[in-house]
Chains A and B, each alone.
Chain A
Amino acid sequence: MTLKNSSFNAGLLRETLRRNIWAVTLAVLGFAFTLPLPVAMSVQTINNRDYAVPMIKHLEMKEKIQGFIGLQSPLAKAVMIVLAVVCAVAIFSYLHSRQRTDFYHSLPVSRGKLFACNYAAGAVIVLPCYIVMQLVAYLIALASGCGDAVAASQPLVTIGANLIFFFAVYALAVACTVLCGNTIVTLLLFGWSAFSLSAAVMLWETLCMTFYQTYTDLAGFSSNLMMRLSPVIQYLFLIPYQYQGKAMYATTGDTSVWLLLLAYLAVAVLLTALAFFLFKRRKSECAGMAIAFNGLRAPLKFWCCTVMAVGVGWIFYNIVDNSKLWLFFGFLAGGVLTHFLMEIIYSFDFKAIFRHWKSLLVYGAVFAVCIACMAFDITGYDRYLPAAGDLQAVGVEYRGYEGDGGGGAWQPATSEYADLTDPENIDAVLSLARKGVDSLGTEPDRTVRLTVNYLKKGGGEASRTYVIPHDEADDRLFDQIRFSEEYITKRAPAFTYALTGRDEVDVYTSLQPYTSYNNANAAASNSNQDEVEAILEALRKDMLQFTPGQARTEAPVLRLVFLNLTTREEELAIRNGMEAMTGYGDGYTIRSTSQDIAVYPSYKETLACIERYTGVTPVRLTPDNVISAELHLYNHEDDTTYSGQMRYQGKNAGEETANVTDRADLEALLQDAVTDAELSSADVMFDADAYVLGEKGFEIIAQFKNGQGTHLYYPEGKAPEQVFAKYFPQQ
């Protein structure tokens, strides 16, 4: 008869702990060196420095301490991951020795209890050490007067996340140890399990990008998936930060951190259940084999072959200038070599290299068929076009002339890229997409890049990117979308900018190019909240009245930059999750969360508001405010790849220059000119592509009397050709 269950379990657990006392020592040292010690050292370092403002010292100390006791600390995470793997492998590796397996499995202990005791031992070795060291680190922070660092580090989230990710990694390592019959193979399998799914997502994306003409990653879906599929990566990149006083976490996206932790808790539970199931099913005689479950050998091998084939193919493809031939060679080399390697590992015998070659041939054929399906788009990925009735919403990006970079697009205010629900907009987007589908395989001279996003009624999402021939009708169709009330109110910066009650508006004219968030270069600034709001409201009204026709003929005359104002203390306070404090700082202003908006001649009410509240009116470029203009002419042959406003980037050895100071010539140059300041806006209301440097590779740089300078651009057909002809007669 055995002892009663409870006392027996405790006894066996004690024995396991006693035999693994080295792991306890390792855990104590690991956490001591990553939690309390760095905190103590940081406190000492900051205490030794002189600070003019005590609060700054406090905040810096707090920030430092938080970096060690919060989830920011990569060191504590690394120790946690290493200990999870080491403990799992050390405790369960008895399964890899026949001698030890026979010993344990001959004892009057059920497999279930044996698993429970061993599993619990790993957790008991690591977690109390971690919790004690975390608490010691908190105590040091409290003792150094930085109790707010403890609160700001969100102890519950920090400890909860560390525990949950420990269990997720630990359970994965235990499952791998049980699956294998050899410790080296266990470590390889753990590494593979922890990262291969993420690698596969990345490689899948590269395959899609290689073979599908219209492939688009859906709002970072792939990168999110890569993160989510590896507890190790997710854990390491789960980094907290403060945004507008709120605690946020990198990599969580829109998901709440608790929901994410709950999901990983579920993953940990599932992996533990899987490890338990495998442990109970595992045959004792598998000790010493590479893989303890014969049924797993082939799937694992072919999974490795697939990932490695695509990985090697991708490397070759990139090395040899995107050569499809080398891509296929990489597939072959990666797949076959991995198969050989896996057979050698499975048998621990180099002579087994050619084993199962028939299954390799079958696998190769299946792989080739799959690649062929992608290469020939058998599934109709590129030609996919949903019915309007199936769609809940759409999104569109119409990026102007290919390679031009002009025009741009407003990003949606939320992470939902398909946010247009108006049936007219849906129809227009589908019409553009249809044009994209019809254009597949063509190679037109002038193209437009078009990205469409679909949100289906069932909740499914899809995204495609097309390169379509440029067509005036398409421009008008896109104008219909971008000048719709829905598009503007959902995406225009004037509508997405949120007033905080501490805002400023900076006004820039043609003579005061916008350079940074610092308003030193602005023609005027206004931080009267009522007036800022009035300007914004006027802007919104005018924007809704603006027509595509006006956008084609008008260039911006002013630039407004809206900013949220904070002080450096407030910024630090916000970053550290505290209430904004006053009376401590030097009053230095921080500008953040800005929106950059262009103002057109048609924005009558806005212009009136700006004049009323800032005194600024648009400034026309004339020889009175421009000293001179430098003309640059480039070798046209070497510059043919550039067009429009980007042409000046093609500077090369064929450059010729001339300086224009003659008033009449300057007047001619400035008459229809538009400046950098006006064109570099992310504003998509006007057609930036209509403005070019000149037809023959000219570049003009105007020098203002106020010391500033700018490039000049012209509407198509209005470039001052006669001035160029005068200064470069040979052209």
Chain B
Amino acid sequence: MIQAAGATKRFGDINAIHEVSAEIRDGSVFGLIGSNGAGKSTFLRMLAGILRPDAGRVTIDGQDIYENVPLKGRCFYISDEQYFFSNCTPDEMRDFYKKLYPKFDGARYRQLMEGFGLDGNRKIRTFSKGMKKQVSVICGVCAGVDYLFCDETFDGLDPVVRQAVKGLFAADVAERGMTPIIASHNLRELEDICDHVGLLHKGGILFSRDLDDMKLGIHKLQCIFDRPFERTMLDGVEILQIDQRGSLYTITARGSRELLQNRVAALQPIFFELLPLSLEEIFISETEVVGYDIKKLIL
């Protein structure tokens, strides 16, 4: 399990990461979200053992990652600007990684390269940005590591490839318990793959929650009543937000699906519908609760 306890990283006068504490369970897909400059890449670089925390600790199974070679052998970092040796081909990169990652799966590499339609002998410098990302992902997935750190990995991938990559991650998580940690500022990209999400803002973590818990515990209700709606009508339900357009009320409330359905049904609405919340909507609701204007934080 990856743990960050009060991890802090400063770049000169800038507090890139400030006392971040989080836990990432093995075998889950962790989404690290936040606005530009929130510290996602810095946090990821600390997790990958590239940066040493100025304060606090970043550990895997209780051991510090920085300069811990055996631990780093279980991690693969895909940077937002992945580096490839000048003038080299994907196959040469594979050969290099094979020397460093003994579990590197050459057969799977070939299969994936064919699947993605990439030529292993073509110079990487001639590849498009998206193709380079694909090479990085393929190398990362084939490295056979326990932890895959992806920094804006889906940027530049077309929708088909994006889904394919998500499928790859899901398969590895299911088959061998790999833990991808994906940093992105695009919530929609992470929604259908992440089990757990952490929101970083201005170097600090706002919260870190299980996505299912959040989805199950928060709902959006669209109702039309024959009388004006008042909060007191749903006493005992934690209402996060009420939005009224004409006679249509959109209520975001915390509670189980059954509880909310029963409570609203008891009010005998003219129209009632329980809608699922998107990740973006959940975050807007959650962050507004803690006093942040999410529209300024994300996107």
Chain A residues packing against B (C-beta within 8 Å): 1-3, 8, 11-12, 15, 19, 97, 99-103, 105-111, 283-285
Contacts and interface: CB of A to CB of B under 8 A. Distances in A.
A103 B73 contact: no
B99 A3 contact: yes
Nearest to A14: B99
Contacts of B99: 3, 8, 11-12, 15
Given A103-B82, A103-B83, A110-B67, 5 more contacts: A8-B99, A15-B96, A15-B99, A99-B79, A111-B67
B203 interface: no
A284 B45 contact: yes
Given A2-B100, A103-B83, A283 B72 contact: no
Contact of B50 (A15, A97, A105, A109): A105
A284 B85 CA distance: 19
Given A11-B99, A15-B99, A284-B50, A1 B73 contact: yes
Contacts of B100: 2-3, 8, 12, 107-109
29 contacts: A1-B103, A2-B70, A3-B100, A3-B102, A8-B99, A15-B96, A19-B85, A97-B83, A99-B81, A100-B83, A101-B50, A102-B77, A103-B83, A105-B49, A105-B50, A106-B45, A106-B48, A106-B72, A106-B75, A106-B76, A107-B100, A108-B75, A108-B100, A108-B101, A109-B72, A109-B100, A284-B45, A284-B50, A285-B11
Main secondary structure of the interface of B (DSSP, over half): loop
A529 B14 CA distance: 86
Top-8 shortest CB links A-B: A108-B73, A106-B77, A103-B83, A108-B72, A11-B99, A105-B50, A106-B48, A2-B73
Nearest to A7: B99
B86 interface: yes
Interface in B61-112: 67, 69-70, 72-73, 75-77, 79, 81-83, 85-86, 96, 99-103
B52 interface: yes
A207 to B, nearest CB: 37
A101 B49 CA distance: 12
Contact of B51 (A2, A103, A284): A284
A288 to B, nearest CB: 11
A100 B103 CA distance: 24
B142 to A, nearest CB: 15
A307 B49 CA distance: 41
B79 A102 contact: yes
Contacts of A283: 51-52
A109 B102 contact: no
Contacts of B48: 102, 106
Contacts of B96: 15
A103 B76 CA distance: 10
A102 B45 contact: yes
A283 B96 CA distance: 25
Contact of B70 (A1, A107, A284): A1
Nearest to B52: A283
A291 to B, nearest CB: 12
A212 B83 CA distance: 59
A2 B50 contact: no
A108 B96 CA distance: 12
A289 to B, nearest CB: 9
